[in-house]
Chains A and B, each alone.
Chain A
Amino acid sequence: MDTIQSLELRGMSRTFGGVGALTDFTLEIAGGMFVTLLGPSGCGKTTALNCLAGLLSLSAGEIVLNGQPIQHIPAEKRGFGMVFQNYALFPHLTVSRNVGFGLETRHIPKSEREDRIRRALELVHLDEAQFGARFPAQLSGGQQQRLAFARTIVLEPNLLLLDEPLSNLDTKLRNEMRIEIKRLHKQLGLTTIYVTHDQSEALSLSDLIVVMRGGRIEQVGKPPDIYNCPRSLYVADFMGYSNKLPVTLVERTNNGWLVRTDAGVTLHASSTAPDNANWGVGEAVLACSRPDETLAVEKTSDAPNILNGIVHLSEYVGKAFELVVRMADSEHQQILVQSTTPIDLERPVTFSVAPDRLLLFSIDPTDAKLGAVRPAGGH
């Protein structure tokens, strides 16, 4: 099977009963890359993966592998491997025969088959002598996960598709398996497409992140770009910019905007949203920040963007305290602030956000959850 030089997805679309589950998915992937499709459930990421795998036919568009369109080739002939969210191990076959399942139809001599099964299990750190004769139901969740990987990589697929493979594992195991996936990717150099709704998985694993929304691509970029420069409120929300302060634009500055909160505090902010070029003075937007970049400071601090509030709740998150702060002049506006020292409840707190970490976005009228912030903070 050819290794991947390039994989181009051109306008890949899929509808279910007239409803678009995937619309105009266009992406170019170089060989050896680790690409993550990121988004909440229902955003079309699994549909995209299934279309790529051949388990779903395309309504429109092309899949071009090394210059050859392959969208008409059935799943079993594409030579792609897939690890399913629920692992989909064959319950009636032993561990060894699960791994050998794909080899058996390929008329590979028995000795070579056994050798490859052993090596694949070794690769995922499952000892064949110990586990080979067991059935999947006799394995732990993590071992089942490893087996699912072994069963796929034993065929040396030219593209590895992973559908939320870690979502059924507990936190410790998830972190362990995440490192395993990274190791396998490095060791085998397999071009990998990974579907997840977990932003930390996406950030730590990927060369390229594709954030999806409503069946469309919302933003494509390297992890730091997505993390630091989200281009829309949707992506920002997904990347943990959970503080959303309604503000009014006052003036465009050299590297951003001067804005005023409802309580009359003037702040320096910047924007990574492409539509900020069309904004005008007086427009209402949301100023967003991440809790870990919204930091409690001394009352006398000369940091920029000083805000005041009352500590409502305090949570120890390890290494720091995360405070739920009520804004001084608008009680309904809550902001998450991190503090290295504990602060008593109902005590005043001063905090600040660096101007380049306070990002402005248009209020998103299509997102009910985000839109609801505005009236609550307006009082």
Chain B
Amino acid sequence: MAETAIKSTPITRSTRRTSPIRFDWEIIIFSLPALLFVCVLFVYPFIYGVSLSLRTGALGDGDFTLNNYIQIFNDPVQIETIGMTFEAALPVTIFSVLVSIPLAYFMRRGIRFERLITTLLILPVTLGTVMVSQSMLIYFGRQGWFNQALQALHLIKNPLTLVHNWLGVEISLFIQGFPFVFLLILGYMSGINPDLERASKMLGVGAWGTFRRVILPLALPGIAIAFCLNFVANFSVFPSAVLVGEPNALTRVLAVQAFRAAYEQYNRPAGTAIALVMGGIELAVVGGVLFLRGRFTRGATLGGGKGT
């Protein structure tokens, strides 16, 4: 659109360019609905939340103060909660990414039954967390089919504890998050020009060397994005932590604590502060990962020239 504008109206364009601020009313008018939407659904609640977390009183009608935050960072229980949240979110995120990379590599040129596999992967996402958790309780429970089958095969003597603990949360998060991670990374890997692999081969480099030196570095931006999205989702875990976890002990994650503060102790400013601390940590991790991504993939992000 910009190009046709330059060609058809070169004069108005050049005179416009001289003024420091350019108002393109069409763009402003057309983006108004979206802006309104963002304001109503994100900006206002966010500002409201921030201001709420900075007030005293259970209802948030007191004076402005940093007390809520100071309390969080002075409370060993809450510090421990932050650690627990990392323990819940980080392993399953790393696991999902590490499993996805080789799988995506082998599926990058398409395989048989790809559509079926993709459908099976997407299914748990469409079912929702509660449904998946409920099914897990039945399937992975002490009397569930999984334990019964293992016992029948004499692989184990006593039933394994797979729900109502840390592992239950990890399994649930994996089922929910893995499809996203996998499909994101698959999209990135199948987008790499196959001629690069062929070129690498013709330069005498075998499959492993090509994977390590061509595929992996070029997929790294996608892997980083997949990691960030999945980490954020896992870090703010709530339903799984309650339903298949141990919310009073090892899976007492930040989201659970925020909920309790706001709706069990009826201290909404304190709950909001916990939620914002959670968001801040997520932002810091995402920022860190994207910073590292930038360091490692300087050339690749320059974009393709004619031949690349």
A interface, CB within 8 angstroms of B: 53-55, 74-77, 79-82, 84, 86-94, 101-102, 105-106, 135-139, 141, 144-145, 148, 151-152, 155, 161, 168
With A84-B195, A84-B199, A88-B196: A101-B205 Cβ-Cβ less than 8 Å: yes
Q: How far is the CB of A189 from chain B (nearest CB, A)?
A: 20
| Contact, CB under 8 Å: A105 / B204 | yes
| Contact present for B209 and A55 (CB under 8 Å) | no
CB distance from A85 to the nearest CB of B (A): 8
Inter-chain contacts of B195 with A (CB < 8 A): 84, 86, 88
7 example contacts (A-B, Cβ-Cβ < 8 A) are as follows A76-B203, A81-B203, A84-B195, A86-B307, A89-B199, A90-B199, A92-B217
Q: Is the CB of A136 within 8 A of B214?
A: no
- With A82-B199, A105-B209 already in contact, the answer to whether A91 and B204 are too (CB < 8 A) is no
Q: Which residues of B contact A86 (CB under 8 A)?
A: 193, 195, 307-308
Decide yes or no whether B119 CB sits under 8 A from chain A.
Answer: no
B209 surroundings in chain A (CB, below 8 A): 105
Contact of A155 among B199, B204, B218 (CB under 8 A): B204
8 Å CB interface, B159-218 against A: 193, 195-196, 198-206, 209, 213-214, 217-218
**Cβ contacts under 8 Å, A168 to chain B:** 306-307
A135-B299, A137-B305, A144-B306 given; A88·B201 CB < 8 A: no
- A89/B307 in contact, CB under 8 A: yes
B299 x A93 contact (CB < 8 A): yes
| B304: interface (CB < 8 Å) | yes
Q: Does B67 interact with chain A (Cβ within 8 Å)? A: no
- Would you give the shortest CB distance from A154 to chain B, in whole angstroms? 9
A55 pairs with B299, CB closer than 8 A: no
A321 to B306, CA, bound (A): 36
- Residue contact A79 to B204, C-beta cutoff 8 Å: yes
Which residues does chain B contribute within 8 Å of A148, judged by CB atoms? 307
Q: Point out the residues of chain A lying under 8 angstroms from B198, CB to CB.
A: 55, 75, 82, 84, 88
Count A/B pairs, Cβ under 8 Å: 103
Asked if B284 lies at the interface with its beta carbon under 8 angstroms from chain A, I say: no
- B199 contact set on A, CB distance < 8 A: 82, 84, 88-90
Q: Which of chain B's residues have a CB closer than 8 A to the CB of A93?
A: 299
Name the CB-closest residue of B to A85.
B195
Spell out B's residues near A (CB within 8 Å).
193, 195-196, 198-206, 209, 213-214, 217-218, 297-300, 302-308
Given the known inter-chain contacts A84-B199, A101-B213, please indicate yes or no for A77 contacting B305, CB distance below 8 A.
no
Please pick, from A75, A87, A137, the residue contacting B202 in the complex, using a CB distance under 8 A. A75
CB–CB A82/B304 < 8 A: no
Q: How far is the CB of A314 from chain B (nearest CB, A)?
A: 32
Decide if B302 touches A101 in the complex (CB within 8 Å): no
- Tell me if A75 and B304 are in contact (CB < 8 A): no
**A55 cross-chain contacts in B, Cβ below 8 A:** 198, 201-202
Best-buried of A80, A91, A148, A168 by chain B (most CB within 10 Å): A91
Measured CB to CB, the closest approach of chain A to B210, in angstroms, equals 9
Tell me whether A94 and B307 are in contact (CB under 8 A): no
Contact indicator A102/B308 (Cβ below 8 Å): no
Chain A residues near B218: list those with CB within 8 A.
91-92
CB distance from A54 to the nearest CB of B (A): 8
CA gap between A103 and B195 in the complex, in Å? 19
B219 vs chain A, min Cβ distance (A): 10
Contacts of B297 in A (CB 8 A): 92
Task: Return B211 CB to nearest CB of chain A, in Å.
Answer: 13
B304 — which chain A residues lie within 8 A by C-beta? 91, 137
Q: Which residues of B contact A106 (CB under 8 A)?
A: 204
**Structural contact, B299 and A144, CB atoms closer than 8 A:** no
Chain B nearest CB from A69 CB (Å) reads: 20
| Bound: A55/B217 CA distance, A | 23
B307 touches A102 (CB 8 A): no
Q: Which of B201, B213, B217 contacts A76 (CB 8 A)?
A: B201
| A169–chain B nearest beta-carbon distance, Å | 9
CA distance A75 to B303 in the complex (A): 29
- Interchain nearest-CB distance for B206 vs A (Å): 5
Q: Is the CB of B302 within 8 A of A138?
A: yes
Q: Which residue of A lies closest to B221 (CB)?
A: A92
- Asked if B307 and A136 make an inter-chain contact with CB atoms under 8 angstroms apart, the answer reads yes
B299 touches A82 (CB 8 A): no
> Measured between C-beta atoms, what is the minimum distance from A148 to chain B in Å?
7
List of B residues within 8 angstroms of A91 by Cβ:
218, 299-300, 302, 304, 308
Given A84-B198, A137-B308, check contact A76 B302 (CB 8 Å): no
**Contact, CB under 8 Å: B302 / A151:** no
Chain B residues with Cβ under 8 A from A135's Cβ? 298-299, 302
Question: Complex Cα distance A135/B303, Å?
Answer: 10
CA distance A84 to B199 in the complex (A): 8
User: In the complex where A86-B195, A88-B196, A101-B213 touch, is A81 in contact with B305 (Cβ < 8 A)?
Assistant: no
Extra 19 A-B pairs, beta carbons < 8 Å, given A75-B201, A89-B307, A139-B305: A53-B202, A76-B206, A81-B202, A84-B198, A86-B193, A88-B193, A90-B214, A91-B304, A92-B217, A92-B218, A101-B213, A136-B299, A137-B299, A138-B305, A141-B305, A144-B306, A144-B307, A152-B202, A155-B203
6 pairs of A and B residues whose beta carbons are closest in the complex: A102-B203, A87-B307, A88-B199, A92-B300, A88-B195, A135-B299
Instruction: Kindly identify which residue among B202, B206, B217, B299 contacts A94, using a CB–CB cutoff of 8 Å.
Output: B299
**A101: nearest chain-B partner, CB-CB:** B203
- A269 vs chain B, min Cβ distance (A): 46
Known contacts A92-B217, A168-B307, A76 near B202 by CB under 8 Å: yes
Give the nearest-CB partner of B306 in chain A.
Answer: A141
Interchain nearest-CB distance for A289 vs B (Å): 39
Chain A residue, CB-CB nearest to B202? A82
Q: How far is the CA of A152 from the CA of B213 in the complex (A)?
A: 17
A145 with B205: CB separation less than 8 A: no
Q: Which residues of A contact B305 (CB under 8 A)?
A: 136-139, 141, 144
Q: Is the CB–CB distance between B308 and A152 below 8 Å?
A: no
* B203 pairs with A151, CB closer than 8 A: yes
A94 (CB) vs chain B CBs: closest residue? B299
Could you tell me the distance in whole angstroms from the C-beta of A146 to the nearest C-beta in chain B?
Answer: 11
Choose from A89, A105, A138 the contact partner of B205 (Cβ within 8 Å): A105
Instruction: Find chain A residues with CB under 8 A from B193 CB.
Output: 86, 88
